[in-house]
Structure 1
Amino acid sequence: MVAFATRQANRLTSILGALTDLYALVYAEPPYLEGPAQVARFRAGLPDEAARPGFRLVIASEDDQLVGAAYGWTMAAGTWWSRAEGHPPESVQNSDKFAVMEWIVHPRHRARGIGAELMRRLLTGRPESWATLASDPRTQARDIYRRNGWREAGRSRLPWGPPMDLLILGLQASD
């Protein structure tokens, strides 16, 4: 049975190794093909991301093994992705946004609803008006986002990767 839990930044240390291992496994797959340098960058950057305002991490475990995770933080009104080509609609630009930074599920545990539940728990009750994320258009996840109402609001190019679609989703404030 899969168990879900929300972790705050101060409880990240206890799962940092397992989260890094899951990241390495997922991003070793095509089309990402990430290696040790990218995994090291992820691990080194995670504490800084966890220190950002509004940080939330949701994890999924089965038999005491981490099988999925999703996390993000608040992107303040007036800000947008740093390497974006252009700006989002004014209503998005001028609102707080929840930036989904990672959404990963162990390959052997996909197609069981774990990813959908991670995202639901990550976004439910957020005070921001919008969620946003960067999605590699070559991946299956891009189609999943489209089916779930995410829409393109721009493009971004990182120096170390492919162009990314910048997506948005309107959030309903709820408890």
Structure 2
Amino acid sequence: MPVTYTVHTAESATAVFPALVRLYAVVYAEPPYAEGPEQVAAFAGGLSAEKERPGFILVVAQDDDSALVGAAYGWTMTAGRWWTRADTEPPEDLRSASKFAVMEWVVHPDRRGAGIGGELIHRLLDGRPESWATLASNPAAPARAIYQRAGWQQVGRSAMPDGTPMDLLVLPLPAAPVRRR
């Protein structure tokens, strides 16, 4: 089934948020997350603040019926900033650089394995001015192995407020915009 990708800035992202919250609820109901209505509501409640962060961008994938089948978003983590609750400091060249923080990168379970996730992250990171991309991943999640195969490197650990451990990963970004054919 064909997929259409759309890039949203802070100005246009709000219209997509209800569908994003529904997709989040499906993806994060799965193990190891097992999130319920309380966590989904917290995610939904934080989206307005997320879109106000510098460098915010949201990429969505929709099928022919306009159903959201994947999404990825993030924002600029300014030079000098790092993940809260990190267990170690990152190398100085990483801390002192601007980074693009990938906050969510999800694909509907029924649509995985078709390259949607790869295309989402490519579109999300293509042409970014930051030197690095970074994300936090649950080490028990199947996605963690996918990140490693794609070249993401672990530089530390952190924990969610509920105590869930998270691997802190980075990926170097090209110095110049990369154009895809």
- Flag as ranges the 4+ runs of structure 1 deviating above 2 A: none
User: 2:94 & 2:124 partners in 1: Cα distance?
Assistant: 19
Where in structure 2 are there 5+ consecutive unaligned residues?
A: none
For residue 92 of structure 1, give the secondary structure of its aligned residue in structure 2.
helix
For residue 42 of structure 1, give the secondary structure of its aligned residue in structure 2.
helix
Q: Partner residue of 2:86?
A: 84
Query: Structure 2 length as normaliser, TM-score?
Result: 0.95
Determine whether 1:168 maps to 2:181: no
Asked whether the 8 Å contact 1:124–1:174 carries over to 2, the reply is no
User: 2:79 & 2:113 partners in 1: Cα distance?
Assistant: 35
Q: Give the alignment's Cα RMSD to 1 decimal.
A: 0.8
Asked whether the 8 Å contact 1:157–1:164 carries over to 2, the reply is yes
Q: Partner residue of 2:44?
A: 43
User: 1:55 & 1:161 partners in 2: Cα distance?
Assistant: 27
User: Sequence identity of aligned pairs in percent?
Assistant: 59
User: 1:42 & 1:61 partners in 2: Cα distance?
Assistant: 21
CA offsets 1:146-167 (integer angstroms, 9 cap, x no match): 0011001100012224110000
Query: Structure 1 length as normaliser, TM-score?
Result: 0.98
Q: Partner residue of 1:7?
A: 8
* Alignment size in residue pairs: 175
CA offsets 1:130-156 (integer angstroms, 9 cap, x no match): 000000000111000100110011000
Where in structure 1 are there 5+ consecutive unaligned residues?
A: none
User: 1:68 & 1:161 partners in 2: Cα distance?
Assistant: 27
Matches within 5 A, 1:90-109: 90-109=92-111
